[in-house]
């Protein structure tokens, strides 16, 4: 396959460990990227609200809150890039 170019509207959203880490982080739960949050019972309750948080954090001029894990910051940068 040909690698994606910078102008293509294709985002790479890749959590370091699992998506549950991002969901909890977006739900303002303190997390790290080394712990496995796969079975955390808070994830299902947070999914709807964290989608809105991801959208908000990926708006121009909005900064994610301190404590946002690095892989999520990269994902937000990807979202901003394709909206550009």
Into how many domains does the chain fold? 1
Residue 33 included in any domain:
yes
Provide, rounded to the nearest whole percent, the portion of the chain with pLDDT above 70: 99
Residue 12 included in any domain:
no
pLDDT averaged over every residue in the chain: 92
Residue 64 included in any domain:
yes
Beta-carbon contacts of residue 47 (< 8 Å; ≥ 6 apart): 23
Could you tell me the residue range of the domain that residue 45 belongs to? 19-83
For residues 17-28, give the mean pLDDT: 96
Q: What's the rounded Cα separation, in Å, for the pair 60 and 19?
A: 23
Position 84 pLDDT exceeds 70: no
Q: Tokens in use for 84?
A: 């550009």
Residue 8 included in any domain:
no
**Start-to-end CA span in the chain (Å):** 24
For residues 44-69, give the mean pLDDT: 92
Residue 37 included in any domain:
yes
Q: φ, ψ for residue 27 (rounded to 5)?
A: -85, 10
Residue 9 included in any domain:
no
Residue 7 included in any domain:
no
* pTM for this entry: 0.86
For residues 23-40, give the mean pLDDT: 96
Position 35 pLDDT exceeds 80: yes
């Amino acid at each position: 396959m040909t690698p994606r170019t910078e102008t293509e509207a294709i985002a790479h959203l890749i959590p370091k460990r699992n998506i549950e880490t991002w969901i909890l982080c977006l739900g303002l739960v303190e997390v790290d990227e080394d712990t496995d949050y796969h079975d955390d019972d808070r994830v299902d309750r947070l999914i709807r609200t964290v989608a809105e948080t991801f959208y908000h954090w990926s708006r121009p001029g909005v900064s994610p809150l301190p404590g946002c894990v690095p892989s999520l910051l990269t994902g937000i940068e990807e979202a901003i890039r394709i909206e550009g």
